[in-house]
Structure 1
Amino acid sequence: MDLGTLLWIITIIMCGVFLVISLKVSRKAQSSFLNYAIGGKSFPIYLILFTQFATIMGVGNFIGHAGKGYQVGLPWLAFILGEQGSKIIFALFFAGLAGKFTYNTFPEMIDDIIARDKVTRALGGILASMIMIAWVGGQGKAFGHIFNIVTGANPIPIILLFTVVFIVYTTLGGVYSVVWTDLFQGILVVIFGTAFYIYAFSPVNWSLAELGMRLSEVGKSELWSFRGTNTIELVTKFITGCIGILVAQIYWQRCFAAKDKKTARNGLLWSGIVAIIFVVLTALVGMVILTLNQGLAPDDAMPWFMLNYVPTGIAAMIFALILAAGMSSADSNLNSASVLITNDLVKPFNSHLKDAQLVKCAKILTVIIGIFASLAAIYASSILDLFSRAYSMAGGGLVPLLIVGLLWKERRDEAFEMGRKNSKVTPWGARIGIVSGSILTQITALGANRVLTALVISVFLIIVVSLLTPPSSPKIQEDTP
């Protein structure tokens, strides 16, 4: 049996399993918006751990980061350390805080304890959803690449096919569908991932020294060194990866869904530690592939390796690994994006909506966002380009507000509690900070350090504008357009 046939068989079987799981949890998930969004804040450590890990290990981490390792080499580790290391930072400094709350989204948290402004909440929902949409699109784009190289299929129908699959089982079961399929997918990723890395490093005899030597032999020694790399560029890569993750709804959502703050912190911490090891290894595998073939497009490196170097059985195992990772990441991000838009754009301006209407709205938005993500996947130049742009815009706009809001307290000795604003940030300070930070990250005239510049300016404007404008009040919160 050839690899192409095996890919289709594995796809059909796994999609069928995910559909059955989604059908089983659909009634409970759709019983309330709180259940649909955060599972009624009831998930134990094993569900939080595996859903975090499976979500982190999206197909972009296997295809995209392998491609960047193939193209950029060791300097790409700066982005990985920022992107993946931020999960550990999040776990240590934010997960415990989030775990004691029962918000549906982190813009809702910002609105309640920091800004008290529904316009700020809406802006936060829009920016945060961009990361989720980019991740969904990235999964579809990666699957299109794999099937195109292995089977010769046109990638566009493949992207659309997987988008339909993502939409169907995410719509049915909300976050319940996500976490229970992630448990299955996460176990597969751990088992198949470990076997894959053992096999993938065999061409260099499992030796990093030999990998460096092989790169030198093919004329790519510069990829095995940080020499000649712009320090600011490395710092920017690290910051870009880090700030985007700190405002990614999928991580806040899991913490809000955890049964307590200890579960939230430990689940994210251990999943982050394992993920950073896996993703660094994936980038190194990209460099191993470069020693075998120097004429590939970066995103084609991993599919070529599957098709031309490994035995069919091992290639099928790798595909099952990638499929499990991609499906997990797609469903998590699709659910998070629909919950964000429903909770932070629709709900604040339509307070009359009942619980069942909010669930219905989230399901409709899941379809709309899935379609939009598939279009982004079709037209994006590469998988990691999708992620990087979304990270910088969302992070540049929201991280300064989050940090300033949590540190600049009105009552220093008082802990943050639901329903009590305890920050000196005003509505206009929050709005100006979000807009300026997100826009400045996209202005190329600011140079390679534009993300750092955007963060500093946003922090400055939040503080200055907040000092010059009146604080929020119940009337402002209710009447602000």
Structure 2
Amino acid sequence: MTAIVVIVICSFFVLTIAGAVSLYVGKKKRGSENWTVAGRSLPLYVVVGTQFATAQGGGMLVAQVGIGYESGWSAITYGAMIGIGLFILLCIAKWLRIQEFSTLPDIIVKLYGNHKILTILVTLMTMIVPFGWIGTQLVAFGSLFSDITGVSSSILVLIFAVASLIFVLPAGLASVAWTDFLFGCVTIILAILSAVFAVNLAGGWGTISNTVSPEIVSFPEGLGAVGLVTVILWSLSVLPGTLTNQMYYQRIYASKNVSTARWSLGLTAIVIILSVVWASIMGISIRSMNPNLGDSEMATGWFLTQLPMWFLGLFAAFIIAAIMSTISSAVQSVVTNITKDIYQSYINPSVSEKKLLNLSRTLSVIVLALAVILAILFPGALNWLVVTYAYSASGLLVPLFLGFALKNTRILTKQGAIGSVFMGILGTAIAQIANSDIYVVYGLASSLIAILAISFFTKDKIESDSSKISI
């Protein structure tokens, strides 16, 4: 009972401060543009804070610490995929920012023209990763706190989902970004403290090195301890998934200028690499203390049970900050796709700004409710991450980046892009059903073949239509 009281007090303190910031921003930042792209006015420190907080939420606490527990320094390899993806986005950030896009489907419309089927397909695929992240964070929260509080993980998931609405509803991305910055600062400070505490609790790094298997604690050998197949799967799912994750793009759009957008991506990549170093240290230290956990994703949860009461409260605040930031960002991203790319574009183009904002708030509740149901039915944080990354990448990577590379040519067509998305999804699904470990490879290959083949056979028709129009 004492643990519950401490956690509630610390959580209430963090949520109250962040909630006050969210409401303040909501009063200052009104309108649909603030909901979708934060008024395109975010300063560098806020963009870095929200990029980091969004990327490294419950996945860092559960999935990545779990990787560190199971495979030592391999968590760095996982994080490196995200960092590399951000550096690639840095290379195209200038073009993205000056176009003043609002969502990822806007890029597809720019590259291929407006096509209802293509836009809706891309919108649905864009929503997969953010929605998967909502589930990941909810699963993480339930897993971390159920044992120590004795409260059912399902009930905890529901409570946390309701609380996260405080940061989305006031002003969408504007309120999310500023509270993310606050959460990011809390996360960094408490991550440092918790790593020092974990290493000392395990008896120091010398003791840890002598206790844990050499293949996972040795450096740089431990970077590949997870196994070559898994590293390949990460490189073909997490890296491409980062490149097709709308939440990163939205923060490029929301930056106050091109320089801010580019610097934010580079700095965020560095911070993320440091955070997975932390995850490895935490995982290795926990394994040194308890090598017999049946599920590696329970490593952080077990660590909570070893903390003295005063530090438990601080660590609870750390968890709240990390997870809440990602949930609020993901909800805002999914809702923006539904309202802007589907509802406003094809159902009600003349919708008023007030009605659009009200619809956004209503859909935020609905999206979270659906995520709660799925998180309860299908727990497993790392599986959520990898699978959603894989499907998003297989459907979007080829038409997005090949389209960008060939944007000044007439080689690719709308029909080719539609086929690319569809075949990418189908190829991934078939390979996964067939129990392939690298199922995303088949999806990416199918997507590439489809866009080239279909574009080749539909190119003449497009040119013929264009000639008739010019005459």
- TM-score by shorter chain over 0.5: yes
Matched, 1:83 2:70: no
Question: Quick one: distance in 2 between partners of 1:292 and 1:450?
Answer: 36
Q: Does the aligned pair in 1 maintain the 2:51–2:268 contact within 8 Å?
A: yes
Q: How does 1:19-38 map to 2 (within 5 A)?
A: 19-31=19-31, 33-38=32-37
Per-residue deviation, 1:64: 1.8
Cα distance in 1, alignment partners of residues 225 and 188 from structure 2: 36
Partner of 1:452: 441
Q: What SS class does the counterpart of residue 173 from structure 1 fall into?
A: coil
In 2, distance between residues paired with 1:200 and 1:461?
50
* 1:327 Cα deviation from its structure 2 partner: 0.9
Question: Are 1:111 and 2:98 counterparts?
Answer: no
Alpha-carbon distance in structure 1 between the residues aligned to 2:329 and 2:420: 28
Structure-1 residue corresponding to 2:454: 465
Counterpart residue number, 1:190: 188
For 2:453 and 2:79, locate their aligned partners in 1 and report how far apart those are by CA, in whole Å: 34
Inter-partner Cα distance in structure 1 for 2:438 and 2:366: 35
CA contact (8 A) 1:3 1:307 kept: no
Instruction: Return the letter of the residue paired with 2:412.
Output: V
Match of 2:158 in 1: 160
Distance 1:265 1:326 in 2: 25
- Is 1:245 aligned to residue 237 of structure 2? no
Which residue of the partner structure matches residue 60 of structure 1? 59
Pair 1:113–1:28, CA change in 2 (3 A)? farther
**1:444-468 Cα deviation digits (max 9, x unpaired):** 2272232123212211211221121
- On the 8 A contact 2:83/2:269 being kept in 1, the answer is yes
132, 149, 155: which one pairs with 1:151? 149
Aligned to 1:418: none
Counterpart residue number, 1:45 = 44
TM-score, scaled to structure 1? 0.88
Could you say what secondary structure the match of 1:347 adopts? helix
Matches within 5 A, 1:184-223: 184-203=182-201, 207=205, 211-216=208-213
Aligned counterparts of 2:262 and 2:272: Cα–Cα separation in 1: 15
Residue 149 of structure 1 and its aligned partner are, at CA, apart by 1.3
The alignment partner of 1:272 has SS state of helix
Q: For 1:102, what is the secondary structure of its paired residue?
A: coil
> Contact (CA 8 Å) 2:129, 2:245: kept in 1 or not?
yes
Distance of aligned partners of 1:232 and 1:383 in 2 relative to their CA distance in 1, 3 Å threshold: closer
Q: CA, structure 1 residues 348+424, in 2 after alignment: closer, same or farther (shift >3 Å)? A: farther
Distance (Å, rounded) in 1 between the aligned partners of 2:173 and 2:142: 26
Is the 8 Å Cα contact of residues 84 and 239 (structure 2) preserved in structure 1? Answer: yes
**Partner residue, 2:414:** 427
Q: Is the 8 A contact 2:108 2:400 kept in 1?
A: yes
Answer whether contact 1:99 1:259 (CA < 8 A) is retained: no
Query: Which residue does 2:426 correspond to in 1?
Result: 439
- Give the 3-state SS of the residue equivalent to 1:331 in structure 2: helix
Provide the secondary structure at the position in 1 that maps to 2:211.
helix
Question: Take 2:385 and 2:224, find their aligned partners in 1: how far apart are those partners?
Answer: 26
Report the Cα distance in structure 2 between the residues aligned to 1:449 and 1:380, rounded to whole angstroms.
22
Which of 332, 340, 345 aligns to 1:335? It is: 332
| Distance 1:228-1:248 versus aligned 2 partners, 3 A rule | closer
Q: Secondary structure at the match of 2:237?
A: helix
SS at match of 2:39: coil
2:297 to 288, 296, 299: 299
1:479 paired residue number: none
Q: Is the 8 A contact 1:117 1:472 kept in 2?
A: no
Deviations, residues 400-433 of structure 1 (Å, cap 9, x unaligned): 111110111335xxxxxxxxxxx64211111110
Q: Which amino acid aligns with 1:179?
A: A
What is the match of residue 18 of structure 2? 18
Counterpart contact for 2:76–2:223, Cα < 8 Å:
no
Aligned residues: percent identity?
25
- State whether structure 2 residue 259 is matched by structure 1 residue 256: no
With over 3 angstroms needed to count, the CA separation of the structure-2 counterparts of 1:198 and 1:451, relative to structure 1, is: same
Contact between 1:42 and 1:258, CA under 8 Å: does it hold in 2?
yes
TM-score between both structures, scaled by the size of structure 2: 0.90
Equivalent-residue separation in structure 2 for 1:22 and 1:323 (angstroms): 15
Amino acid at match of 1:9: I
Query: Quick one: which amino acid aligns to residue 355 of structure 2?
Result: Q
Aligned amino acid, residue 41 of structure 1: R
Letter paired with 2:9: I
RMSD: 2.6
Aligned to 1:178: 176
Write out per-residue CA displacement over residues 186-228 of structure 1, whole angstroms, 9 at most, x where no aligned residue.
1111211222222222356664x754431139x9889975788
Separation (CA, whole Å) in 2 of partners of 1:145 and 1:229: 23
Q: 1:158 to 1:267 in 2, by over 3 A?
A: same
Q: Residues 111 and 407 of structure 2 are in contact (CA less than 8 Å); yes or no, is this contact kept in structure 1?
A: no
Provide the rounded CA distance (Å) in 2 between the counterparts of 1:55 and 1:228.
27
Matched, 1:277 2:277: no
Q: 1:231 to 1:4 in 2, by over 3 A?
A: same
Give the distance between the partners of 1:162 and 1:437, measured in 2 at CA.
34
CA drift at 1:294 = 2.4
For 1:402-413, list aligned pairs within 5 A.
Answer: 402-411=400-409
> Does the aligned pair in 2 maintain the 1:397–1:438 contact within 8 Å?
yes
- Deviation readout 1:333-380 (Å, 9 max, x if unpaired): 111111112122222212232332322222221111111111221122
Tell me the secondary structure at the aligned position of residue 436 of structure 1.
helix
Q: Which moved more, 1:250-259 or 1:229-238?
A: 229-238
Return the alpha-carbon distance in structure 2 between the equivalents of residues 263 and 103 of structure 1. 16
Kept after mapping to 2: 8 A contact 1:25/1:177? yes
Q: How many residues align?
A: 459
**How far off is 1:323 after superposition?**
1.0
- Report the alpha carbon displacement of residue 49 of structure 1 after superposing the two structures with TM: 1.4
Range 178-187 or range 9-18, more displaced: 9-18
For the structure 1 residues 78 and 169, does the alpha-carbon distance in structure 2 shift closer, same or farther, using more than 3 Å as the test?
A: closer
1:55 alignment partner AA: T
Structure 1: gaps (5+ residues): 412-422, 477-481
- Residues 65 and 249 of structure 1, relative CA distance in 2, 3 Å threshold: same
1:323 aligns with 2:320: yes
Give the Cα–Cα distance (whole angstroms) in 1 for the partners of residues 411 and 3 of structure 2. Answer: 60
Deviation at 1:252, TM superposition (A): 0.3
Distance 1:160 1:133 in 2: 16
Aligned partner of residue 38 in structure 1, secondary structure: helix
SS in 2 for 1:269: helix
- Cα distance in 1, alignment partners of residues 140 and 212 from structure 2: 26
1:359 aligned onto 2:357: yes
Residue 2 (structure 2) aligns with? 2
**Matched residues in 2 for 1:24 and 1:446: separation?**
50
Matched residue SS, 2:291: coil
* Closer, same or farther: CA 72–439 of 1 in aligned 2, 3 Å: farther
State whether residues 30 and 173 of structure 1, in contact with CA within 8 Å, keep that contact through their aligned partners in structure 2.
yes
Partner residue of 1:419?
A: none
